[in-house]
Amino acid sequence: MNGPSPEPRREEAEPMEGGGVGRDREARLAGGGSGEVLEVHVEVRRTARVALLRGEELDGDGREGREQLWICLHGYRQLARRFLRPFRGHVPPGTLVVAPEGASRFYLEGSPGPYRGGDPVGASWMTREDRDREIEDYVAALDTILLATLEGRVARGGMAGTGAAVAPAGGIGVLGFSQGVHTAARWLAGSRVLPELVASGDGNPSVRVAMWGAALPRDLPGTGLAGLAGFASPVSPLALVRGEADELRSLDAEAREEAVLQEAGIPFRIRTHRGGHRIDGALASTLLSGSGEGN
């Protein structure tokens, strides 16, 4: 068993008409007088949990130019370590897979009431509540995790450990699954770290991107699409992965997504597997190894 299945819903709620859900209420309350409840935001320290999975070590002769890093983002209701189970046995040699975990955890079963020790736990990247701040927080957190990994500061699984944030010679990949598709898209659009790694010098590879089991968020702004375009090319197109038996699949959402990408001039390739709303290990291996890109 791979633990609780991913979400009964996969796409986060869209913002209310007129702007972000939290923004309208915050503006309304900010001008309140005595006796009214006022909401403010305070920065606090938060520790991220990250699951790691390595492929086989490369030998000395074949190591140079082949080491790579993939940041893989789980779906709603999943924990990072459970999310990585289908990847086991399918990670290419010289590859480190890093799966950060969403900061919001909750009990998956049972009604409100006293805690029952057997209730499984899942995680989420965000909800519609205070969504703009939550997006800012996870974009910053993912940047921090990426830098820590490249600098060798991720426990028991850093890259070369040189202390410098240098992309591995084999490249960096970003894979989002289900709710993680929205998270990955917004991270790519808002990251301060990834664009610098792509443009940090001749010979550095681009960032490869795979969006699995969900369409891009409909409210991704034009600037976000422009940011996403910087990580796709005819040689390394955006991979859109779909399960033929995915019970949560929306053909209308897929058609909208393809039209938006075509209008924005973002190269993409559709990849399918015969399964449902899950990670298929064999296809994951193909994506992580870069096999068939641009075909």
- Catalogue all structural domains in the chain, each as residue range(s) with its CATH number: 51-289 (3.40.50.1820)
The pair of three-digit structure tokens given for residue 213, joined into one six-digit string: 């089991």
pLDDT tens, residue order, the chain (295 aa) = 444 455 544 445 444 333 444 445 554 555 556 789 999 999 998 899 999 999 987 665 555 556 899 999 999 999 999 999 999 999 999 999 999 999 999 998 765 666 666 778 999 999 999 999 999 999 999 999 999 998 887 755 445 445 566 788 888 999 999 999 999 999 999 999 998 887 654 444 568 999 999 999 988 867 788 888 889 888 899 999 999 999 999 999 999 999 999 999 999 999 999 999 999 999 999 999 987 565 4
Exposed/middle/buried for 66, CB within 10 Å: 0-12, 13-18, 19+?
middle
Alpha-carbon Rg for the chain, nearest whole angstrom, is 20
Instruction: Note the pTM of the prediction, 2 decimals.
Output: 0.83
In whole angstroms, give the CA distance from residue 60 to residue 4: 40
Q: Could you read off the pLDDT of 182-212 as tens digits, one per residue?
A: 999 999 999 999 988 876 544 445 689 999 9
CA angle 218, 219, 225 (to 5 degrees): 85
| Distance (Å, whole) CA 285 – CA 55 | 10
The Cα 195–Cα 107 span in angstroms is: 36
229-253 per-residue burial string, b: 16 or more CB within 10 A, e: under 16: bbbbeeebbbbbbbbeebebbeeee
Amino acid at 188: L
* Among the listed residues 72, 70, 71, 74, the one whose alpha carbon sits nearest the alpha carbon of residue 95: 70
Note whether 189 and 220 are within 8 A (CB).
yes
